[in-house]
Structure 1
Amino acid sequence: MYEELEVDKVLVIAPLRVADATWDAEIKKWDHLKHLTFSKVLGTAARRKEALKAKADIYIINRENISWLVGYYGTAFPFDMVVIDELSSFKSPKAQRFKALKMVRPLINRVVGLTGTPSPNSLIDLWSQLYLLDMGERLGKFIGHYRTNYFNPGQTNGHVVFNYKLKRQSEELIYERISDICISMKARDYLDLPERIDRTVDVVLSDQDQKMYEEFEKKMVLQFMDQEEISVANAAGLSNKLLQFSNGAVYNEDKQVREIHKEKLNTLEEIVDCANGKPILVFYSFKHDYDRIMKQLKKYKPKKLESSKDIKDWNNGKIRLLLAHPASCGHGLNLQAGGHIIVWFGLTWSLELYQQANARLDRQGQTQNVIIHHLVTKGTIDEDVIKALRSKATGQDALMEAVKARVRKYKQIA
């Protein structure tokens, strides 16, 4: 900006908490950046407009407001450089945020995309991200052409295609096409990071609760017995019910919470107690998980990760037990100064969320061995999820296979 004079006005697009708490903090850390001024385009529409009027080098906005920003400026879009933090959040060509940025892309001279998970589900996810970088020069100007050139339809139902499989040698061809504008760097190849320790903590149900789970699973699966093809949505719904049971509570038809067991809660409490006061980051899946953890472990004064103040308090050692949903803190947040212990109370099928959430502590600046506890209820769907995460399987494919395996199982019994 001031040495090469190649850019004049920069827009940084990031997840909300990262936009609010990370970018300005990083700017202040580095001597060669301290002279750069910034304005955070966050909050209400009135506040965002005031932030845009402020004179600054860098304007920081959360990705949810990109459509608003494009609508605000239209063809007078003033930013000649855009940095997209967590580029993979633009992986859907149907999303409004992608469509909005695509509209003004010809007006931007330079785009930089940053992500730790560029293809979380499959290489299908690359097209829209690369389009924002080169406007279709390398992978094609249309997603349909990209699919036709590099993929074959996978699971289908009539004319509906649920997923795509790479053609032979497509992976190498795609990497070759994008190699001139992409660079991949792994922290462990360049930094001396402490060792990461992954633990599977078995949670054992009582005989009565185990039998109840099996009956519950059977009842849920029987709904799909007569279906020729199970949709992803139905499979996800079934999986969520089974995961809720594994965690210890389920929502009934009236959206009321029915608690079934406290085995995971008790196991979590044991881990917290054995940590002897060391801070712990807990990832939960469902709202009733959060409510039950807050109630049972209230003596440890648990705090939900909600604001930039919570991030500062955690990093300053003021929070002993921090609760977070992986989708709300899976990208960009620097939490490594506050602790080195993670507990997955509820597991996720999403490899992207899993990897990104763990990277909040297992990242540059961490000084201690990161310990990740996975609470896995024996004899339940938890075992399928942890197996998929360990093998780095695609979440959707692993989910579908787990549900189909259960349908096959009960068909044989029937």
Structure 2
Amino acid sequence: MTDRKKKQLIVSIMPNQALGLEWETTKNKITPEQAKFQDKIHHNFTTQTKKWLFYLGFTIPSVQLSPSLDYFIRFANDFVVALSRVPELETLRHEAFVDMPFGICQNFLSARPMMVGAEYVTREMLEQLWQGFNETFARDIKAFDGRVSDYFNEQNPDLHPAGRVFFHLVENRNQALPFAFMATYSAGMGSNGKPKHLPLKHAIESHDDAALLNLLSTVYKAGESSQIVADLIDSGELFHPLAWDADDAFQFLKEIPDYEGAGVICRIPDWWKPGSSKTGVTISLGDKKPSLAGLGAILDFKAGIAVGDLEFTREEINKILEESRGLAFIKNKWVAVDPEKLKKALEACDRIQDMAEAGMTLGQAMRVRLNPEKMLGRTVPGVDISVSNGTWLASVIKKMQEPEIVNTVLPGKGFKAQLREYQSKGLNWLNFLHTHRLGGCLADDMGLGKTIQILALLSTFTKKTKFRASLLVVPASLISNWESEINRFFPGLKIYVAHPGFNRSKTSPNGKKEQKSKELKLPQSQLNRLDLVITSYTLVKRYPWLGRYNWNCLILDEAQAIKNPGTQQTRAVKALPAAHRIAMTGTPVENRLSDLWSLFDFLNPGLLGSRTEFSKFAKTLKDNPKGYARLRQLVSPYILRRLKTDKTVISDLPDKVEMKTFSDLSPKQIVLYQKAVNDLADKIENSEGIQRKGLVLSSLMRFKQLCNHPDQITGTGDFKAVHSGKFQQLGRICETIYEKRERVLVFTQFKEMTQPLQAFLETIFHHPGVVLHGSVSVTKRKKLIQTFQGETYCPFMVLSLKAGGVGLNLTRANHVVHFDRWWNPAVENQATDRAFRIGQTQKVLVHKFVTRGTIEEKIDQMISEKQALADHVVAPTGETLVTEMDDKKLMDLFRLSLPD
């Protein structure tokens, strides 16, 4: 049971596309009725994991639920409705099979709400879910002792499965009476495996009174709400073929949902479908290329009128108004004509045409797609306003959505990385957006190389750009990682790090070594000679000079840092002037509707309207889930997201992607580290032989512990994340893992670190994890493995390296973190392989933590330089190499190397 006043149930989709239910804190008040219904759903989920959603399909909730839960209930309900309309369902019983209509799949894919794991909702996933419903019904009805109608009645008395009566409406060549109606019934299955139809009049001859009443039960039910059917029954015309005029046919067609709801199966012309009678205004935006780039470019647009899927000129509409109402045969097709709606559509069209004379910016045009009615200043009842892209705008949007068709651009001189195919497409996409001055979000999965793609883009910039330097804003903990990637892939990039802990220029503008600047401020003349300035989110609001330079490109890494639009940090970042803006994040941007506006307010200000306007739009989604489709249609061109599971990516990746993740010491760690170095220097002078070797080995262990967390040395036991650079780095990585509901193995060689890591990770994942070390019994070890490998979400396992090195198969994990290094590649690889075993179907991303400037980094470099040694049968460890050094080299190794 949960706190009913504050929690709502949400559906989260796991990487294996399984559905999970979670409690989420909400600002909306939960009523007792909502709480009771949610608790019932959660109970069914925990006790009937494979059936809970199928049974919800028989329910039409009378209370408001979270968008994600409502989405899947509606999907299940569509299956139940489709099942209820299967002819001869009683005869077929457990052999009944319902194919998912293509339209249903398309509608649900486009109308996904913002929810955890939305990216995993694919056509294949929905088809598997639908197939699961088929299998559940087959099992249930096979074991059910009673009729199919009784089964439906038990689930929901208001749902009626299809009976054996069919209503047919067909077109007739008779001009005066252009339609024909007939009622038939199924008389068993024919040799072709389909129901055999007979005119309903034959039932009078072949059925006794009781059987006839049973056969007509669905018709009588339909007659309760339909005067047409009631008259057909009373007059006896139900049992004879009838010729109808257009008015009779139109009235019949409008009532079809009532007939089908009562269990009568309807066979009607293909041209009558949902939306066929809609009267609407069509707006075409951007036929011609504008003279300027960016969201401020002025677009042309025009308006028209449509009835169903047919478009008409104003003259044609006036003629229709003079001659027709109801069903009219126009352009060789029957359409529904509503004179009042057509008049309103004409008025709306005239108003939009007047607005077209003044023009519309690209930003306004794109925003119109989200709320077309806003163009009129009000909603016009019965008039649907649809927006389409003109020739030029359609070509731009298509290229944004399909990077593979964008013109190829090559990295510039000095760029040393070899881009994978999907990374080259990412570069082309980024360059295309830069050319058109449209902001974009590079949201590739962690480990797919977002940094490399950004560096490749920077390499294409030339001195012809109006503003020379670009600005990169990152969490402070990532500055070291960016420096490492730049040194490796684009060493010629001229950068300046505007941060007290990194205050130096890699290559100064005049070629000379720069002195440390207390103000961390560069004049515009020097900035113009740089390629990139790097700073942190925290410092943006502290350094006003950053806001006085017009940056070529403003890039945000870990852009979820600006998800809260009300903070000073977010406002300061958004105020930075730039010709182009890019956001980078490995966290799915589809998880939270509340975060989306803030991200796009940075990328393309005004695209989603003001904060107030977007909030009003978000509230309408509760009653109109189709609004999500319009929202996705608007934002998706500006988001490039590739998953490790994408078919276009997976073949381009190794099975294991290994990366070194650098972190910096906290102020507290720096003080203790420097003190430990001074103490070691005093002791090392007075030791030799075995004593010296023991001192070195114990010091190595102590410095490792200090790099993990100072509390591992002091024994205070608080283990606050702020006191450890590694804890902060681990938290950042695991926040992204949690948003994707993935799983991670965290290895440490210290048993005493397993519990602090577990406590910390549970604050990140909001779910319990498990711990495995050498003291865990064999019996308990099996249970822990089953828990981690099970269907219930267990996000992490913390393992001591030796305990996790043998006899484990943990293929649920697709992330491995080596929190502290063993300095023996063979041992680390053996631990990594716990996640990469037979049965693993996911790509594994391995994070090897290294603390910048410490002995960890230096030994890591030393081992990398002597990599050939690691290929021997017995690889020497880092400890062995260190103990053989002389005093000077030894102290240089231990000494803390912080930036000047």
TM-score by length of 1: 0.47
Structure with max Cα Rg: 2
The TM-score, its normalising length taken from structure 2, stands at 0.23
